[in-house]
């Protein structure tokens, strides 16, 4: 036996050099996060749009240009026009195609900007089949055209009567973003946030204007799904703006921004805000309130401007900065000092608000103490029941306790998901088919309790709810959430829909922030399988089924799936890999959540009975439809 194992050759030819655009196209996730097709608001095509708009926002922040025009044509081609200073005409090509080239490295030209690394616009260029950039300055225009990062044509300077500014037009590469389509709802939300954070700026989407008069107060009002218990507290200085209130719900809700960038995972500024609120409230009332009671039901916006922010990834979702350059002030201390003084002043000047806040905290304390013994008993019971073996089939990240490692935590949060399933059959299929590294499975036993109108103690009295809460690790809020995507996977029949509604009701009642922060999804599974000897097509609707039948021709075999348990695990693998279809559960101010829950999950009423009768599907009709395909 050889002393050394034979290994593949590793020679000079194995060392490969990639051009900048080749690297971006080969590893797009490093630059824009996930890819996607536009179904979800964090899909890559929206990141491309945002990268371009960020540059225009930076112009506004420097005092140049008060409007930005965004046009989306044919659902795919995008144009962004600002009225800032315009890119220096001799550097237009370099700015779009030379890595480590840009104006953001010069603090004299750009202060407290969003785009820092000189990469964003190049990523848009590299990931687009068509990319055109135009700069207008003082009566002259420079234009350059690219495809997939490479120059197609560079135009000479030409005279123009257009106002100063920059126009970028691009079309994402459909070989990278397959079958993509922009959805107005996500773009509108993005532009609204820009308007809230940049008072005086007007943004247009295909001619529709978005402008905010009240800044982050408007942002908070837009995102609240319940009425505030007291008027929104608005505090601001040159580099920090805060809006906050409390609502009658469990949990905490935060919307945080750095230089206009939505830091969905928080970071240094949010940690400092939480610390300052707790410290100030305790000092004002001269009571050692528990932090969880102070923050129960809080909803807040924290927007900070930092000259050279350090983010924990290129997608800039979490602030990692410790200091505010160039004078080295601590961000934490800056936020704590400002909020401690200003919030204390506000409470002294507004005794009615102070009284309401005190009552909210005392009520939260009373409820917490009332269920403390129930919590203890539930934890002991869960420990004896052996949670991980009985209910939860965890993923390997958590087997290895990777979430405790700082360098693994961000990747863990982004990549992991958990399927909430009904019954052993569906649970078994998904468990066999899943990616055990990143996908966990939690199995419900029967239908969950209808928790509508019940107090928080039901979470600890009900085995299913308590074990689910433990599996997600959200008892103390979302800071310890173990999975980025919480996916309800139930049958597409009456019972499955009922379980889905009961589960969503549970989250709406006790963990609304899970939904508001975009973590809850519904798994879409195929209703039909259409196949012949050469090809199999899975269809998620009758329209897709009809199209597949025409595509395959000659009377293909059509199977209608009635439940997840009918789909064998080899097939299931096709539905929960990179082709997974997820429907996000959204929560908006206009949703009237209380009224919806009262109507659908509350006591039986004549109006609900009439609704059911009017929308009843007769079983015989379903049987006749299924018989056609058997």
> For 150-199, what is each residue's pLDDT tens digit?
999 999 999 999 999 999 999 999 889 888 889 888 899 899 999 998 98
Specify which of 264-273, 309-318, 325-334 reaches the highest per-range mean pLDDT. Answer: 264-273
Q: What is the pLDDT of residue 235?
A: 96
Cα 9 to Cα 436: distance, rounded to the nearest angstrom: 32
What's the sign of the alpha-carbon dihedral 25, 27, 33, 39?
Answer: positive
Q: Which two tokens stand for residue 616?
A: 């009843």
Confidence of residue 398 (pLDDT cuts 50, 70, 90): low
Q: Which of 267-281, 344-358, 395-409, 453-467 has the lowest mean pLDDT?
A: 395-409
268-285 and 331-349 helices, crossing angle to 10°: 40
Question: Taking residues 262-271, what's their average pLDDT?
Answer: 82
621 pLDDT above the threshold of 50: no
Confidence of residue 586 (pLDDT cuts 50, 70, 90): confident
Strand partners, 560: 528
Q: What percent of the chain has pLDDT over 90?
A: 36
Q: What is the pLDDT of residue 336?
A: 92
Confidence of residue 620 (pLDDT cuts 50, 70, 90): very low
Confidence of residue 630 (pLDDT cuts 50, 70, 90): very low
389 pLDDT above the threshold of 60: no
Smallest CA-to-CA distance from 317 within 267, 252, 273, 243 is with 267
Confidence of residue 490 (pLDDT cuts 50, 70, 90): confident
Cα 531 to Cα 553: distance, rounded to the nearest angstrom: 10
Q: What is the pTM of this model?
A: 0.75
Smallest CA-to-CA distance from 628 within 568, 549, 563, 535 is with 549
Confidence of residue 274 (pLDDT cuts 50, 70, 90): very high
Q: Which of 40-54, 228-242, 551-565 has the lowest mean pLDDT?
A: 551-565
587 pLDDT above the threshold of 90: no
Task: Identify whether the C-beta of residue 235 lies closer than 8 Å to the C-beta of residue 342.
Answer: yes
Question: Taking residues 409-429, what's their average pLDDT?
Answer: 76
Is it true that domain 216-362 has CATH number 2.40.33.20?
no
Q: What is the pLDDT of residue 626?
A: 46
What's the sign of the alpha-carbon dihedral 512, 516, 520, 523?
Answer: positive
Cα 430 to Cα 575: distance, rounded to the nearest angstrom: 10
| Phi, psi (deg, nearest 5) at residue 545 | -60, -50
Bigger pLDDT: 336 or 311?
Answer: 336
618 pLDDT above the threshold of 50: yes
Bigger pLDDT: 265 or 438?
Answer: 438
Q: What percent of the chain has pLDDT over 70?
A: 84
Question: Taking residues 432-446, what's their average pLDDT?
Answer: 89
Question: Taking residues 221-238, what's their average pLDDT?
Answer: 90
Bigger pLDDT: 36 or 433?
Answer: 433
Bigger pLDDT: 325 or 79?
Answer: 79
Question: Taking residues 469-494, what's their average pLDDT?
Answer: 86
List Cβ neighbours of 551 (8 Å cut-off, separation of 6 or more): 537
The dihedral over CA atoms of 487, 492, 498, 499, expressed in degrees to the nearest 10, equals: -40
87-122 pLDDT per residue, tens: 999 888 888 887 755 544 344 433 455 544 457 889
Alpha-carbon distances, residue 511 vs 286, 308, 357, 412, 461 (angstroms): 30, 35, 21, 21, 17
Task: Identify whether the C-beta of residue 197 lies closer than 8 Å to the C-beta of residue 216.
Answer: yes
Question: Taking residues 308-314, what's their average pLDDT?
Answer: 65
Angle at 477 between CA 445 and CA 472, to 5 degrees: 30
CATH topology of domain 20-210: Heat Shock Protein 90 (3.30.565)
Confidence of residue 377 (pLDDT cuts 50, 70, 90): confident
- 3-state helix vs strand vs coil in the chain, percent to 5: 40, 20, 40
324 pLDDT above the threshold of 70: no
Going from N- to C-terminal start, the domains of the chain cover 20-210, 216-362, 372-525+566-591, 528-560
Q: Which of 84-98, 205-219, 353-367 has the lowest mean pLDDT?
A: 84-98
Query: What average pLDDT does the structure give for the chain?
Result: 82
Confidence of residue 7 (pLDDT cuts 50, 70, 90): low
Alpha-carbon distances, residue 369 vs 119, 458, 466, 473 (angstroms): 51, 14, 17, 20
Q: What is the pLDDT of residue 249?
A: 82
Tell me the catalytic residues. 422, 491, 493, 495
Q: What is the pLDDT of residue 317?
A: 66
Alpha-carbon distances, residue 352 vs 170, 347, 436, 556, 630 (angstroms): 53, 9, 53, 71, 68
Question: Taking residues 401-408, what's their average pLDDT?
Answer: 48
Cα 472 to Cα 486: distance, rounded to the nearest angstrom: 9
Task: Identify whether the C-beta of residue 538 lies closer than 8 Å to the C-beta of residue 528.
Answer: yes
Is it true that domain 372-525+566-591 has CATH number 1.10.40.30?
no
Q: Is 214 exposed, middle or buried (0-12, 13-18, 19+ CB in 10 A)?
A: middle
Confidence of residue 610 (pLDDT cuts 50, 70, 90): confident
Q: What is the pLDDT of residue 81?
A: 96
Q: Which of 269-283, 464-478, 530-544, 599-613 has the lowest mean pLDDT?
A: 599-613
Bigger pLDDT: 543 or 17?
Answer: 543
Bigger pLDDT: 526 or 196?
Answer: 196
Residues 303-334: b if buried by 16+ CB within 10 A, e if exposed: bbbbbebbbbebbbbbbebebbeeeeeebbeb
């Amino acid at each position: 036996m050889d002393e050394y194992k034979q290994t593949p050759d590793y020679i000079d030819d194995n060392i490969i050099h990639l051009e900048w655009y080749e690297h971006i196209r080969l590893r797009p996730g490093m630059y824009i996060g996930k890819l996607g097709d536009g179904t979800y608001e964090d899909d890559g095509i929206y990141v491309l749009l945002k990268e371009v708009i960020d540059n225009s926002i930076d112009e506004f922040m420097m005092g140049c240009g008060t409007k930005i025009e965004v046009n989306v044509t044919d659902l795919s081609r995008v144009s962004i026009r600002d009225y800032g200073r315009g890119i220096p005409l001799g550097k237009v090509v370099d700015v779009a195609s030379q890595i480590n080239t840009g104006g953001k490295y010069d603090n004299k030209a750009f202060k407290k900007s969003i785009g820092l690394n000189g990469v964003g616009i190049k990523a848009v260029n590299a990931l687009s089949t068509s990319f055109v950039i135009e700069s207008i300055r003082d009566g002259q225009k420079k234009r350059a055209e690219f495809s997939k990062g490479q120059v197609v044509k560079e135009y000479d300077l030409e005279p123009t009567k257009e106002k100063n500014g920059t126009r970028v037009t691009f079309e994402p590469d459909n070989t990278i973003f397959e079958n993509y389509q922009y959805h107005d709802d996500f773009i509108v939300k993005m532009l609204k946030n820009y308007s809230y954070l940049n008072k005086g700026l007007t943004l247009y989407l295909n001619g529709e204007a978005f402008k905010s008069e009240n800044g982050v107060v408007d942002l908070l009002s837009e995102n609240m799904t319940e009425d505030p218990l007291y008027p929104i507290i608005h505090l601001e200085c040159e580099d920090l703006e805060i809006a906050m209130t409390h609502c009658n719900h469990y949990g905490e809700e935060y919307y945080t921004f750095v230089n206009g960038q939505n830091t969905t995972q928080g970071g240094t500024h949010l940690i400092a805000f939480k610390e300052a609120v707790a410290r100030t409230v305790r000092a004002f009332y001269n009571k050692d309130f528990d932090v969880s009671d102070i923050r129960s039901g809080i909803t807040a916006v924290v927007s900070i401007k930092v000259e050279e922010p350090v983010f924990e990834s290129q997608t800039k979702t979490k602030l990692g900065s410790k200091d505010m350059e160039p004078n080295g002030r601590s961000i934490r201390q800056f936020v704590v000092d400002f909020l401690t003084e200003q919030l204390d002043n506000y409470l002294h000047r507004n005794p009615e608000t102070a009284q309401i806040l005190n009552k909210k905290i005392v009520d939260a304390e009373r409820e917490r103490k009332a269920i403390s013994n129930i919590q203890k008993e539930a934890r002991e019971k869960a420990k004896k029941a052996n949670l991980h073996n009985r209910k939860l089939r965890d993923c390997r990240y958590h087997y290895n306790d990777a979430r405790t490692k700082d360098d693994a935590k961000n990747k863990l949060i982004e990549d992991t998901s958990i399927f909430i399933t009904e019954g052993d059959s569906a649970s078994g299929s998904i468990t066999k088919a899943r990616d055990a590294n990143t996908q966990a499975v939690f199995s419900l036993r029967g239908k969950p309790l209808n928790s509508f109108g019940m107090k928080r103690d039901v979470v600890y009295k009900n085995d299913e709810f308590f074990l689910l809460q433990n599996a997600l690790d959200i008892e103390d809020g979302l800071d310890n959430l173990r999975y980025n995507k919480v996916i309800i996977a139930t049958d597409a029949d009456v019972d499955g829909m009922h379980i889905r509604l009961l589960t969503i009701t549970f989250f709406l009642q006790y963990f609304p922030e899970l939904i508001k922060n975009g973590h809850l999804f519904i798994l879409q599974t195929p209703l039909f399988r259409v196949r012949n000897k050469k090809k199999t097509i899975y269809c998620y609707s009758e329209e897709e089924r009809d199209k597949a039948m025409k595509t395959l021709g000659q009377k293909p075999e059509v199977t209608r799936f009635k439940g997840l348990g009918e789909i064998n695990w080899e097939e299931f693998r096709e539905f929960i890999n990179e082709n997974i279809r997820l429907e996000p559960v959204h929560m908006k101010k206009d949703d009237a959540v209380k009224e919806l829950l009262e109507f659908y999950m509350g006591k039986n009423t004549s109006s609900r009975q009439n609704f059911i009768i009017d929308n009843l599907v007769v079983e015989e009709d379903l049987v006749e439809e299924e018989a056609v395909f058997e």
